[in-house]
Structure 1
Amino acid sequence: MHTPASMVTGIVFAPLGLVLLFTAAITPQWREGQAWLGGARQAVGGAKGRELLLLRSDGLWESCLQVANSELRECWPASGPYQRDARVRAARTLILSSLFLCGTGVVLASVGIRCWTDAPLRNVAAGGGLLVALSGLLSLAALGVYTRHLSELGVELASTVSGFQGLDVHKMPSLSLRPAGSLYFAWVGAWVQVLGGVALLCGVRRPRCPARTHAERAEAYEVNC
């Protein structure tokens, strides 16, 4: 098998970036924040009126609210100003497009590399690499938009959690939001996609065979007298 090392690197990095980005896209930890809530109507741990630490996290499609150091947790589909924000919707569209392009590129690259034969289809593998690299750029664009405006995106408690476990969340103070784990996973996945696509593109160059000398080209034969 004469598969270039760059192609092997690309076919490893491309699916890895796809998995990382997909994992980040479906988890609700793109941004997170916390706030103290005083005067809770329900006792937690047997202490009425105790201040509670609420943890809020948002993803592209889901938001969650949890009371720290307890099992009280509830998630709901993203709604309100956050769900309607044009920047969030743009990030969703770009991420979905990136996942589709990366998946298509991985399939093309797998067909082009043809690990079961000696000679890869370099142009097909390079086409897959181009799609993977483009998917990585789309992911970076989505992440750049989301990260830059992270603190400006709206925060609204959905009606389904207005009575969250008996707590008065209507008086919850404003949150100081910051990037969360899923957003970092997405950044890593996007860069891995770009590197994988570039590695596949580098494999399009055909290896040059060294020129043979006249003496090497001459065929030896035996003469019988």
Structure 2
Amino acid sequence: MPTQTAEWIRTSLRTPGILIFGMVLAPCGWILNLTATVSPNWRTIRNIPGTPSNEFLQQGIWDICRATDTSQLECQLVDTAYFNTPIIDIARGLMVASLIVTLIGLAVAIAGVRCWRENPRWIVAGLGGLLIFLSGVMTLIPIAWYTHILEDIANSGAGGDIVVGYCIVLGYIGAIMEILAGAVMFIGICRCCGGKNRGERPIEEVMGPQSRRQNPPQPRRAEVPSPVRTRSSASSVPYSRDDDISFPRAKTPARSVTTPYSGRPYDVDL
């Protein structure tokens, strides 16, 4: 015998929690990744020989700036050795591609999470989550690679203490947020955990056993009063129980009244 597929029903019209989680976390990660991409502070070089003690260099993947603890002095510095390092070109391409893929993933996910539909398009939302997951991985690769070879990247200046810049921290946080958002949204492409990930429950648990649904209760019959009119104790006219009131009664002819007269006739009476 062919097996019957279980029917599922949503217990609430609210957007499922996994989609809310992904749609909130992904834009936050995108903003952090955008900041990490354009800001020139992937690493900081301090205590450079021949410079004041409070002066340091901020190096990013697009620009290099010289600054102090209180102000920023000069940007767009030229460092051929630094920008010719292969990790710089790879980081530029992957970070820009990650930003674009995140926007595409959000657009696809929004098409599947429309709030005015009774049920989300789970496949479309899952594909959007997959794109967001891939964009997080694309951000994590250059961030982790740059951190791994932080002190080995070429620098035209001699000496100095190299420390991690705030862009690396923002990039890690943004990449992890996008990876989590995409993975959680992709879970909705298949039903798991008893349907809790989609906010669904088996229809048997909500509507009761199948046998009860197949045998619905009989409709209640309305009682119509009988047209037979019974004899009322307050009425002076006797009615029989067998009388049918659907036909009108025939009227009885009026009786003629004769009064006896025993007097003598007068002329007026003639």
One-letter amino acid of the counterpart of residue 56, structure 1: L
Question: CA separation of 1:174/1:130 partners in 2, compared to 1, >3 Å: closer, same or farther?
Answer: same
Contact 2:65-2:72 within 8 A present in 1 as well: no
Q: CA deviation at 1:221?
A: 2.2
Deviations 1:150-169 (A, max 9, x none): 1111223xxxxxxxxxxxxx
1:99-178 correspondence to structure 2 within 5 Å: 99-156=99-156, 173-178=158-163
Question: CA separation of 1:189/1:78 partners in 2, compared to 1, >3 Å: closer, same or farther?
Answer: farther
Tell me if 1:12 matches 2:24: yes
Q: CA deviation at 1:174?
A: 1.2
Distance in 2 (alpha carbons) for counterparts of 1:199 and 1:77:
42
One-letter amino acid of the counterpart of residue 64, structure 2: S
RMSD of aligned C-alpha atoms? 2.1
Q: CA deviation at 1:176?
A: 1.6
129-138 or 2-11, larger mean C-alpha shift: 2-11
1:76 maps to which residue? 76
Structure 2 gaps of 5+ residues are 1-12, 192-199, 224-270
Larger helix share, 1 or 2: 1
Q: CA deviation at 1:173?
A: 4.6
1:191 maps to which residue? 176
Question: CA separation of 1:78/1:205 partners in 2, compared to 1, >3 Å: closer, same or farther?
Answer: farther
2:62 maps to which residue? 61
Tell me if 1:218 matches 2:209: no
1:169 maps to which residue? none
1:25 maps to which residue? 37
2:265 maps to which residue? none
1:204 maps to which residue? 189
Q: CA deviation at 1:67?
A: 3.5
Structure 1 gaps of 5+ residues are 41-50, 157-171
Distance in 1 (alpha carbons) for counterparts of 2:94 and 2:108:
21
1:165 maps to which residue? none
Distance in 1 (alpha carbons) for counterparts of 2:220 and 2:116:
44
Identity of aligned residues (%): 26
Contact 1:52-1:68 within 8 A present in 2 as well: no
Aligned length: 198
Distance in 2 (alpha carbons) for counterparts of 1:175 and 1:13:
38
One-letter amino acid of the counterpart of residue 67, structure 1: T
Distance in 2 (alpha carbons) for counterparts of 1:152 and 1:37:
19
One-letter amino acid of the counterpart of residue 164, structure 2: P
Q: CA deviation at 1:178?
A: 1.3
Contact 1:4-1:203 within 8 A present in 2 as well: no
18-27 or 51-60, larger mean C-alpha shift: 51-60
Distance in 1 (alpha carbons) for counterparts of 2:48 and 2:90:
32
Distance in 2 (alpha carbons) for counterparts of 1:15 and 1:97:
15
Deviations 1:168-196 (A, max 9, x none): xxxx6512211111110010000000000
